[in-house]
Amino acid sequence: MTFQIASEFTQVSLAHFIIFSALLFVVGLVGFFTRRNLIVMFLCTELMFQAALVAFVAFGRYWFNYSGQVFVIFILTVAAAEAALALALVVLLHRRRGSLNADDWKELHEG
């Protein structure tokens, strides 16, 4: 499967959106891999989330199907709830260790 990049730059095609979404996802992923701050890591996951949502909207628009947009609304709602939960957890973790460094929780392992 290859991406067909539009020859005219005047028109914004599906490919633009998909590439944008992919870039956004990679930014989030790389951020998640490299940073140690819990809040930043959480923000990175949100970034990946939004990348997926952009893809949804783009595909929905492409096929003239509103399911994509409906999904986005739902996912955003869930994401908001999840964000509240995750931030609450981060606050609790910060209270325990007095820092936001993910490495402070290294001992939570089996092997």
Question: Does residue 58 interact with other proteins by CB under 8 A?
Answer: no
Q: Which of 71, 69, 73 is nearest to 61 (CA)?
A: 69
User: What is the chain's Cα-based Rg?
Assistant: 18
CA 90 to chain centre: 18
Between residues 27 and 69, which has the closer beta carbon with respect to other proteins?
A: 27
Binder among 29, 52, 57, 86 for other proteins (CB under 8 A)? 29
Between residues 96 and 106, which has the closer beta carbon with respect to other proteins?
A: 106
What backbone phi and psi angles, to 5 degrees, belong to 101?
Answer: -75, 125
Question: Does residue 54 interact with other proteins by CB under 8 A?
Answer: no
Binder among 8, 9, 33, 64 for other proteins (CB under 8 A)? 33
* Distance of closest approach, residue 32 Cβ to other proteins, in angstroms: 5
Determine contact, residues 78/14, Cβ cutoff 8 Å. no
